[in-house]
Homo-oligomer: A and B are copies of this chain.
Amino acid sequence: MSIVAVGSIAFDTVTSRYGTKDRMLGGTATYFGLAASYFTEVRVVGVVGDDFTAEHVNVLRSHGVDVSGVQRTSGKTFFWSGEYGANVNEAKTRATELNVFADFNPDLPRNYRDSEFLFLGNIDPTLQANVRRQMNGARLVGGDTMNYWINNTHAALLDTLKLMDVLIINDAEAKSLAGETNLPRAAQKVLAMGPKALVMKHGEYGATIFFREGAFGIGHHPFRAPALPIEEVQDPTGAGDSFAGGFMGYIASQGELNRETLKRAMFYGSVMGSFAVERFGTERLQNLTREEIDARFQIFRELTHLE
């Protein structure tokens, strides 16, 4: 089953202890689309400028990603530049040039609207809601947000959260959204805002999914997927979007939306995040096989499984 992903498409310049790489293809829709493409059919919605070449388009297209929803506008593509120091969980932003992304107003092509799954990348919650309403038949909607929207468009975000089934954010965002520093209490407060499940990403410590009582099955226990200890983290950019792509892509590939599916999806999300950070940009995500993915899934299982 296909999934529609809405989000940024960008050029990223990244510096880490492994060096600097200029103007790599990046952005939410790119990382998410590549990661999800190993599991299911993906249709992306985004906006690019004149500097976006056929070569860039082909990175997604060669993975079977439908790019007919990518708008081309005169101007430059969104550009981000950042540096990772000792703490790989946090980037120091050097430059953010929104460019054509500043006026992004996503509109789904007709042929996208029969998709059963939707991922709303981190954009203005009002735009997220508009997209959501263009896909009223969606079986499951995942979404992301960030502190900027939590602080500056709080009311609109609360409206949009009611339209999401699974919110996928990091610890700091969950704490900020809930106004609560204890993680499971923050999770309960966020779930009360609308989503049936909350995925909290803990960076190099993995991620936890919290379920609303009765959602996707019975019971109230959360589920935690580890992250793989990786010796060479060349570039953490896109790890979260790759997690979301693996998570949502696996879900979209399954028939049943139950807790076991979502738990396995947590592992596949972690697997895709672990690949993403091993090389700069999307290099690793461009060159994977499903066999490599499933082999790493087994490593993740062994990382926490007792006999």
Residues of A bordering B, CB below 8 Å: 86-88, 181-185, 187-188, 202, 204-206, 208, 210, 221-226, 229-233, 260, 263-264, 267, 299, 301-307
Contact = CB atoms under 8 A, between A and B. Distances in A.
B222 A229 contact: yes
Nearest to A200: B229
A223 B206 CA distance: 13
Contacts of A301: 306
A222 B88 contact: no
Given A202-B205, A205-B205, A224-B226, A231 B185 contact: yes
Contacts of A302: 221, 223
B226 A260 contact: no
B260 A304 contact: no
A305 B305 CA distance: 6
Given A223-B304, A260-B306, 9 more contacts: A182-B230, A183-B204, A184-B230, A185-B231, A187-B229, A223-B302, A223-B303, A224-B226, A304-B304
A229 B183 contact: yes
Contact of A224 (B210, B264, B267, B303): B303
A86 B304 CA distance: 29
30 contacts: A86-B181, A87-B181, A88-B181, A182-B232, A183-B204, A184-B229, A184-B230, A184-B231, A187-B229, A188-B231, A202-B205, A205-B206, A206-B224, A210-B229, A221-B299, A221-B302, A221-B303, A223-B302, A223-B303, A223-B304, A224-B226, A224-B304, A225-B304, A226-B304, A260-B306, A260-B307, A263-B306, A301-B306, A304-B305, A305-B306
